[in-house]
Amino acid sequence: MATTVIGFPRLGEFRELKFSTEAYFRGEISETALLEAAKQLRRKHWNLLKTAGITELPSNDFSHYDTVLDTAFLLNVVPKAVHELDLTDLERYFALARGYQGEKGDVRALPMKKWFNTNYHYIVPKFEKDTQVRLASNKIFDEFAEAQALGFHTRPTLVGPFTFLQLADYEEGTSPADFLESIIAAYQTVFEKLADLGAESLQLEEPILVKDLSAQEKALFLNIYERLLADKKGLAILVQTYFGDVRDVYTDLINLPIDALGLDFIEGKKTLELVSTGFPSDKILYAGIVNGKNIWRNNYEQSLAILEKIPAKTVVLTTSCSLLHVPFSTENEEFEATILQHFAFAVEKLAELRDLDTIVTKGAPDILAKNKALFELERVEKNTDLARRIAGLTEADSTRLPAFAEREVIQAKQLNLPALPTTTIGSFPQTAEVRATRLAFRKGEISAQDYDNFLAQQIDDWIGWQEEVGFDVLVHGEFERNDMVEYFGQNLSGYLFSKNGWVQSYGMRGVKPPIIWSDIYRLQPITVKWSSYAQSQTEKPVKGMLTGPVTILNWSFPREDLSIKESTLQIALAIKEEVLDLEAAGIKIIQIDEAALREKLPLRKSDWYEDYLDWAIPAFRLVHSTVAPDTQIHTHMCYSEFTDIIPAIDSMDADVISFEASRSNLVILDELKAQNFQTQVGPGVYDIHSPRVPANGEIDRTIETILAKVPSHKVWINPDCGLKTRGIKETRESLVRLVEAAKTARRGLQ
Ligand code: GLN
Ligand code: ZN
């Protein structure tokens, strides 16, 4: 059998691309040097794949920033303002991704969105009235030729036209239909040019096909492909899907004149069922059987059982999605061998594909036996007490009493806050000094006492400053935390942390998700010390600050031998202990962040409740269900894109929710009103994802808009999100404006 991968991590084994790119941004290395560094990485990666025995190598899966952006660049879908800048191609490319501010002009970056249900972000292309679609970049051709010259015959990959059109934004008055002809023509030119260069096949990535498709969307898809495939210029076309199954278009897909179809057998709940209905003998099935998202070893017996049921005549073994979503290699980790043997990062997954092929074609009982033995090991001891506690949970455990309306009255009396109370989301700027001191402490260069003194000093400064500016509900600032998930993971049993397990998140930035290794329970109180300390320094209420169970789970690599529901409930019980300890320590307001709740919403609406919200929301409620009525529970969510799940958010039964809103023009407020949202709300009035200080009067206008739509006794005034990544100066200036604007609005209410 042939073996391949959909794509390979781009940043490099030690994030070389990130470091070169940043050096280029700082002007320390030239464009040529950056391009050369990228070339070296591509060569290394092709070599690795080849050496690992992978028979079909992809090309153009590499990117200097993002492959959707590459596709926009290829198709000349570049906003006029950027087009007009007198820049080199690479500079213009980065201008789209990051904005450009300099001698040659001032343009804003294109927006960024999460790539399906991953933590990778793509750049959202924008079609404008005068967008002229035509081929405008040689990247895909150059990289094919580059590989060819090195002796690697590759299969170029490209975001498919349907996914591209569906993910793009459109200037008012334009729609996908306006660009259809030119897009199809452009893709056909790609076919032609690749064929001329000697390519035999092309992978068109169409992950959007795993979402629910309306009749209209389906018609658009078929329309595009029927015309696109009318002349393939001699290329074999692989339509590659991932992140789910293609139930809405399976029959159509297998009837199209494509040559190969790539399907996800890991996340695609119905993939096996679909192919069991038949797969044409003249097409190749690319079977995504090795998980491209998780870091655990493949269970060969299970994979073989799936492969056996696949009726296709020709199967190519591949990954469930691009390996971009897993770290590079376990070779640079320091786990004990007994632990490490359970992990497979990108490089190890290549060996798994080859193993599976060897087993299927040659038998190889020794390989199979070794893998079987690994899965028969009792990897971790089960915490039976915990399992029993979870099995015994009922609806009542996730129900807080009295009901919200009654608590609202009690809390108003008890807290006695002014109208439109002001607060922040938790973190204050993590300056170089804060980060350096934390690192010094971790390396043992400064004593625990010195570190504590440093943190106390930071808290004192910021508590004092918040009082001075006039905030109503204060925060301690989260200076002790490097990351809102890792910090909790480090204080919970059951977590492991990799040294080098970086995964691309946005641009050249990586995240290092912690690994859930075994059952999770709390080892000791986590946040009580610093929250109580901060509270002891002021008469004003200080918010306790926790990360919620769903977010902790979503930003970790989850176990595969336990359901994510069960793992989340374990985390929920641990965080619940923390909530109760904070309450006992006299903290009256506790915020439980669920920044990542929205992002793991299943891609299909029909799965939202059963597969996710039905357990995720009760898990959140479990965390706070037994606090006293006068303890006020806050939550925070990033992105206001929850218009579709407003009742679910309300049923988290928090007393107050803050959310990112200032970029979304507050459209969410109409929906909250229409759906009779009960929870008090703090829609962000200051965009913290930009260094910009809101202009005079800007926050005032935002507050007016909010008050026009939400009753004033339900409104809180706060920024969009935590301020950790911002500089001190802009933060302080902006927050002073925020408090002033709230005070002005408050006067207006009387
Ligand atoms: N409390 C966190 C902070 O302020 C919330 C961050 C987030 O929502 N991503 O940093
Ligand atoms: Zn946030």
Residue whose Cα lies nearest atom 9 of ligand 1: it is 595
Mean pLDDT of 330-344: 97
Query: Measured in angstroms, how far is the CA atom of residue 422 from the centroid of ligand 2?
Result: 16
**Cβ neighbour number for residue 626 with a 10 Å cutoff:** 15
**Cβ neighbour number for residue 275 with a 10 Å cutoff:** 23
Helix, strand, or coil (residue 427): strand
Q: What pLDDT score was predicted for residue 725?
A: 87
In whole angstroms, give the CA distance from residue 239 to residue 626.
51
**What are the tens digits of pLDDT across the range 232-280?**
999 999 999 999 999 999 999 999 999 999 999 999 999 999 999 999 9
Query: Measured in angstroms, how far is the CA atom of residue 426 from the centroid of ligand 1?
Result: 6
Query: Measured in angstroms, how far is the CA atom of residue 587 from the centroid of ligand 1?
Result: 19
Residue whose Cα lies nearest atom 1 of ligand 1: it is 426
Q: What pLDDT score was predicted for residue 342?
A: 98
Query: Measured in angstroms, how far is the CA atom of residue 645 from the centroid of ligand 2?
Result: 18
**Cβ neighbour number for residue 429 with a 10 Å cutoff:** 20
- Given a cut of 80, whether residue 646 has pLDDT beyond it is yes
**Residues whose CB falls within 8 Å of the CB of residue 637, separated by 6 or more in sequence, listed in order:** 594, 595, 597, 598, 649, 657, 658, 659, 660
- Given a cut of 70, whether residue 700 has pLDDT beyond it is yes
In whole angstroms, give the CA distance from residue 280 to residue 626.
57
Q: Under a CB-based contact definition with an 8 Å cutoff, are residues 60 and 143 in contact?
A: yes
Query: Measured in angstroms, how far is the CA atom of residue 595 from the centroid of ligand 1?
Result: 7
- Given a cut of 80, whether residue 662 has pLDDT beyond it is no
Query: Measured in angstroms, how far is the CA atom of residue 296 from the centroid of ligand 1?
Result: 29
Taking the CA atoms of residue 359, residue 363, residue 368 and residue 369 in that order, the dihedral angle to the nearest 10 degrees is -170
**What are the tens digits of pLDDT across the range 341-352?**
999 999 999 999
Binding-site annotation: residue ranges for 5-methyltetrahydropteroyltri-L-glutamate: 15-18, 114, 119, 555, 599
Return the percentage of the chain with pLDDT > 90, whole number. 93
Ligand (nearest to CA of 527): 1
Mean pLDDT of 297-308: 98
**Cβ neighbour number for residue 222 with a 10 Å cutoff:** 16
- With bands split at pLDDT 50, 70 and 90, how would you rate the model's confidence at 599? confident
Instruction: Compute the Cα dihedral for 343, 347, 349, 355 and give only its sign.
Output: negative
Ligand (nearest to CA of 592): 1
Q: What pLDDT score was predicted for residue 663?
A: 65
Query: Measured in angstroms, how far is the CA atom of residue 696 from the centroid of ligand 1?
Result: 26
Helix, strand, or coil (residue 102): strand
Give the H/E segment covering residue 263.
Answer: strand 260-264
Mean pLDDT of 653-660: 96
Query: Measured in angstroms, how far is the CA atom of residue 594 from the centroid of ligand 2?
Result: 8
Residue whose Cα lies nearest atom 8 of ligand 1: it is 595
**What are the tens digits of pLDDT across the range 480-492?**
999 999 999 999 9
Q: Under a CB-based contact definition with an 8 Å cutoff, are residues 526 and 578 in contact?
A: yes
On average, the pLDDT of the chain sits at: 96
List C-alpha distances in Å: 148 to 41, 153, 175, 655, 715.
15, 5, 38, 61, 61
Residue 636 CA: nearest ligand 1 atom is 8
Mean pLDDT of 524-545: 98
Residue whose Cα lies nearest atom 6 of ligand 1: it is 722
In whole angstroms, give the CA distance from residue 242 to residue 571.
29
Residue whose Cα lies nearest atom 5 of ligand 1: it is 722
What Rg value do the Cα atoms of the chain yield, rounded?
27
Binding-site annotation: residue ranges for L-methionine: 425-427, 478, 593
**What are the tens digits of pLDDT across the range 133-173?**
999 999 999 999 999 999 999 999 999 999 999 999 999 99
Q: What angle do CA 13, 18, 19 make, to 5 degrees?
A: 95
Mean pLDDT of 723-727: 92
**Cβ neighbour number for residue 521 with a 10 Å cutoff:** 17
Binding-site annotation: residue ranges: 15-18, 114, 119, 425-427, 478, 555, 593, 599, 636, 638, 660, 721
Catalytic residue from among 64, 342, 476, 689 = 689
Q: What pLDDT score was predicted for residue 366?
A: 97
In whole angstroms, give the CA distance from residue 371 to residue 291.
16
* Phi and psi at residue 374, to the nearest 5°: -60, -40
Ligand (nearest to CA of 487): 1
Helix, strand, or coil (residue 450): helix
Q: Under a CB-based contact definition with an 8 Å cutoff, are residues 56 and 4 in contact?
A: yes
List C-alpha distances in Å: 659 to 1, 418, 552, 637, 703.
50, 21, 18, 5, 14
* C-alpha closest to that of 617 among 654, 580, 668: 654
Q: What pLDDT score was predicted for residue 250?
A: 98
Q: What pLDDT score was predicted for residue 692?
A: 84
Residue whose Cα lies nearest atom 4 of ligand 1: it is 722
Residue 595 CA: nearest ligand 1 atom is 8
- With bands split at pLDDT 50, 70 and 90, how would you rate the model's confidence at 664? low
Residue type, 741: A
Binding-site annotation: residue ranges for Zn(2+): 636, 638, 660, 721
- With bands split at pLDDT 50, 70 and 90, how would you rate the model's confidence at 521? very high
DSSP per residue, 586-603 = T--EEEEE-TTTGGGS-S
In whole angstroms, give the CA distance from residue 472 to residue 466.
8
Q: What pLDDT score was predicted for residue 688?
A: 85
Ligand (nearest to CA of 721): 2
List C-alpha distances in Å: 686 to 275, 478, 596, 735.
50, 20, 20, 8
Q: What pLDDT score was predicted for residue 510?
A: 93
* Phi and psi at residue 115, to the nearest 5°: -80, 100
pTM across the whole model: 0.95
The encoded tokens of residue 637 equal 């969510």
Q: Classify residue 361 as exposed, middle or buried by CB count within 10 Å of its CB (0-12, 13-18, 19+).
A: exposed
Residue 660 CA: nearest ligand 1 atom is 8
In whole angstroms, give the CA distance from residue 81 to residue 494.
51
- Give exposure, 288-309, as e/b (b: 16+ Cβ within 10 Å): bbbbbbbbbbbbbeebbeebee
Q: What pLDDT score was predicted for residue 661?
A: 82
Residue 481 CA: nearest ligand 1 atom is 10
Helix, strand, or coil (residue 496): strand
Residue whose Cα lies nearest atom 3 of ligand 1: it is 722
Mean pLDDT of 88-105: 90
**Residues whose CB falls within 8 Å of the CB of residue 284, separated by 6 or more in sequence, listed in order:** 238, 259, 260, 261, 312, 314, 315, 316
Task: Choose the residue to mutate in 475, 480, 484 for probing ligand 1, maximizing ligand atoms within 8 Å of C-beta.
Answer: 484
- With bands split at pLDDT 50, 70 and 90, how would you rate the model's confidence at 106? confident
Ligand (nearest to CA of 483): 1
Q: What pLDDT score was predicted for residue 665?
A: 66
Q: What pLDDT score was predicted for residue 449?
A: 98
Mean pLDDT of 361-388: 96
* C-alpha closest to that of 282 among 299, 264, 265, 259: 259
The encoded tokens of residue 701 equal 């206008």
List C-alpha distances in Å: 645 to 399, 612, 649, 685, 721.
19, 12, 6, 22, 20
Q: Under a CB-based contact definition with an 8 Å cutoff, are residues 350 and 54 in contact?
A: yes
Parallel/antiparallel/unpaired status of strands 515-522 and 589-593: unpaired
The encoded tokens of residue 363 equal 């038998």
Residue type, 490: Q
Task: Choose the residue to mutate in 511, 530, 659, 721 for probing ligand 1, maximizing ligand atoms within 8 Å of C-beta.
Answer: 721
Write down the number of H helices and E strands in the chain: 29, 23
Task: Find the length of the chain.
Answer: 750
Query: Measured in angstroms, how far is the CA atom of residue 461 from the centroid of ligand 1?
Result: 20
Residue type, 116: F
Residue whose Cα lies nearest atom 10 of ligand 1: it is 722
Q: Under a CB-based contact definition with an 8 Å cutoff, are residues 113 and 122 in contact?
A: yes
In whole angstroms, give the CA distance from residue 55 to residue 350.
11
Helix, strand, or coil (residue 737): helix
Strand-pairing partners, residue 170, are: 127
Q: Under a CB-based contact definition with an 8 Å cutoff, are residues 586 and 532 in contact?
A: yes
What is the DSSP secondary structure assignment for residue 676, as one 8-state letter? Answer: T
- With bands split at pLDDT 50, 70 and 90, how would you rate the model's confidence at 642? confident
End-to-end Cα distance, the chain: 76
**What are the tens digits of pLDDT across the range 396-422?**
999 999 999 999 999 999 999 999 999
In whole angstroms, give the CA distance from residue 552 to residue 500.
20
Helix, strand, or coil (residue 733): helix
Q: What pLDDT score was predicted for residue 689?
A: 78
**Residues whose CB falls within 8 Å of the CB of residue 707, separated by 6 or more in sequence, listed in order:** 715, 745
Mean pLDDT of 448-467: 98
Q: Which residue has the higher pLDDT, 37 or 667?
A: 37
Q: What pLDDT score was predicted for residue 301?
A: 98
**Residues whose CB falls within 8 Å of the CB of residue 628, separated by 6 or more in sequence, listed in order:** 583
Q: Is 689 a catalytic residue?
A: yes
- Given a cut of 80, whether residue 640 has pLDDT beyond it is no
Task: Choose the residue to mutate in 423, 427, 660 for probing ligand 1, maximizing ligand atoms within 8 Å of C-beta.
Answer: 427
- Given a cut of 70, whether residue 231 has pLDDT beyond it is yes
DSSP per residue, 632-674 = EEEEEESSS--GGGHHHHHTT--SEEEE--TTTTTTHHHHHHH
Instruction: Compute the Cα dihedral for 562, 567, 570, 574 and give only its sign.
Output: positive
Residues at CB less than 6 angstroms from ligand 1: 425-427, 478, 484, 545, 593, 595, 636, 638, 721-722, 724
Return the percentage of the chain with pLDDT > 70, whole number. 99
What is the DSSP secondary structure assignment for residue 420, as one 8-state letter? Answer: S
Residue 638 CA: nearest ligand 1 atom is 8
Binding-site annotation: residue ranges for L-homocysteine: 425-427, 478, 593
